[in-house]
Amino acid sequence: MRCPRCNNIINDDSRFCSYCGAEFVGEEEVIRIEQEASGDDYTSNSDLHGAVTENNYQPGQNNPPKNKKALAVQLIITLCVLVLICGILLFVGIYTGRIGGTGEVVTDAAGEEIREGRGTVTMTVKDTDGTVRTIESDKSLVTPEAILTEYTSVMNGLKSDAPAFTKVRYQNLPAEHQSLGSVGSLVLSIIEKHVTSKNAVPSTQYNAGNADKLPLIDSLYGCLLTDSTKIKNAYTEILGDGKYKIVITVQDEVNPKALTAGATATDSAVNGMFNPYEPGEIISSIAELAMSNIDFTYTDCTATVVYDYDSKQVQSVNMTMNIDITADTVLSQISARIVDITEYSNFIYM
């Protein structure tokens, strides 16, 4: 027989046209299809019973049948291709630094372009002396985790390179942090034995290869702190000429021990970044005054490193430790602060 919709020849017992997909539901449907093919208006209740009534088929043409499974497969394949294309574009964008802000220009404090990267961000920071400043920072170096990772890489590289440098270590005794009571003069005389002002101590010149004199002393590494939750405050500041400054202040810590020689790990935030005192000598001296419960609290210990971002070569390092000494006497509790500062400068890379 001939399909009344597309006019193609099909089997007499066919229920569906193999060309246009028309479904024949009895004689009424054949009549309806014939009238559709001729352009006559036709309305039948058969439309309410699931008969197929496609309006986009033209009689006399060999239109392919509508197969729902085939359409579903084609849709899935199309979606997979689109996902693959998007994935490739995303990978290329991230790799080339064009997605997620990575294609932005990083500028220094003077507004000069440094390089392409994740761009800069303006942020407000508070230094340990209470000074509040607005700085330009690198978007990729704003979290404590990222800053600690960068600091560790730079300081470990410094130990590995072991350039020539200048070092000076000195102390201050801020009067506003002294509470010594009736035995103040005696305690102060003992503490002053361990204090040398910057004007009184000469700087020391070290030739290349003296890595053991760099932070951390007697360690192969420049930073052993791995837990960013032990950081109290941290920021990265973009300076001029491609220079970055990292500032990290660690959480306060009571009685940290000096790092053992050759250590590769530590749980201490202080000795993981700094070179704390070996308290034995000071404690034994103070103990002569019959004091008890002597504690050394390291407060707002801050490391500052200035380096070239591209080469990672260090320009200067400042390690500041505030050491609050508290002890009980028969009369009262006394306290005093030693501010210990170590400065490294004049780095010469071979």
Name which residue leads in pLDDT, 112 or 237.
237
Task: Read off the pLDDT of each residue in 57-69 and give the average, rounded to a whole number.
Answer: 50
The pLDDT tens digits for 152-199 are 999 999 999 999 999 999 999 898 888 877 666 676 777 777 788 888
Number of other residues whose CB lies within 10 A of the CB of residue 264: 8
**Window from 44-53, 125-134, 307-316 with minimum mean pLDDT:** 44-53
Check residue 6 and give its pLDDT: 80
Domain-embedded: residue 83: no
Please tell me whether residues 196 and 51 are part of one structural domain.
no
Type and span of the H or E element at 320: strand 314-328
Q: Is the pLDDT of residue 34 over 90?
A: no
Comparing C-alpha atoms, which of 38, 60, 48 is closest to residue 30?
A: 38
Please tell me whether residues 165 and 276 are part of one structural domain.
yes
Check residue 47 and give its pLDDT: 43
Please tell me whether residues 294 and 177 are part of one structural domain.
yes
Distance of alpha carbon 256 from the chain centroid: 28
Name which residue leads in pLDDT, 202 or 147.
147
Name which residue leads in pLDDT, 312 or 81.
312
Share of the chain above pLDDT 70, in %: 71
**Residue 231, CA distances (Å) to 118, 143, 159, 164, 316 in order:** 24, 11, 22, 30, 21
CA–CA distance, 234 with 253 (Å, rounded to integer): 17
- pLDDT-derived band at 52 (thresholds 50, 70, 90) equals very low
Domain-embedded: residue 107: no
Please say whether the beta carbons of 320 and 151 come within 8 A.
no
The pLDDT tens digits for 86-127 are 666 655 454 444 344 445 777 766 666 766 666 899 999 988
Domain-embedded: residue 334: yes
Please tell me whether residues 239 and 302 are part of one structural domain.
yes
CA–CA distance, 126 with 33 (Å, rounded to integer): 82
Domain-embedded: residue 111: no
Q: Is the pLDDT of residue 22 over 90?
A: no
Name which residue leads in pLDDT, 165 or 59.
165
Where a domain ends, among 43, 66, 89? 66
Please tell me whether residues 176 and 303 are part of one structural domain.
yes
CA–CA distance, 263 with 261 (Å, rounded to integer): 6
Please tell me whether residues 247 and 330 are part of one structural domain.
yes
Domain-embedded: residue 114: no
Please tell me whether residues 141 and 36 are part of one structural domain.
no
Domain-embedded: residue 112: no
Q: Is the pLDDT of residue 288 over 60?
A: no
Check residue 49 and give its pLDDT: 39
The pLDDT tens digits for 294-330 are 889 999 999 999 999 999 999 999 999 999 988 877 6
Task: Read off the pLDDT of each residue in 339-348 and give the average, rounded to a whole number.
Answer: 96
Range of the domain at 141: 120-348
Domain-embedded: residue 338: yes
**Residue 199, CA distances (Å) to 79, 92, 202 in order:** 73, 57, 8
Check residue 129 and give its pLDDT: 82
Please tell me whether residues 125 and 36 are part of one structural domain.
no
Please tell me whether residues 319 and 198 are part of one structural domain.
yes
Domain count, the chain: 2
Radius of gyration, CA atoms only, the chain: 39
Check residue 96 and give its pLDDT: 41
SS3 93: helix
Please tell me whether residues 186 and 321 are part of one structural domain.
yes
Check residue 119 and give its pLDDT: 87
Please tell me whether residues 34 and 141 are part of one structural domain.
no
Share of the chain above pLDDT 90, in %: 41
Please tell me whether residues 169 and 288 are part of one structural domain.
yes
Where a domain ends, among 51, 66, 81? 66
DSSP structural state of residue 256: P
Domain-embedded: residue 113: no
Task: Read off the pLDDT of each residue in 192-207 and give the average, rounded to a whole number.
Answer: 86
Type and span of the H or E element at 27: helix 26-38
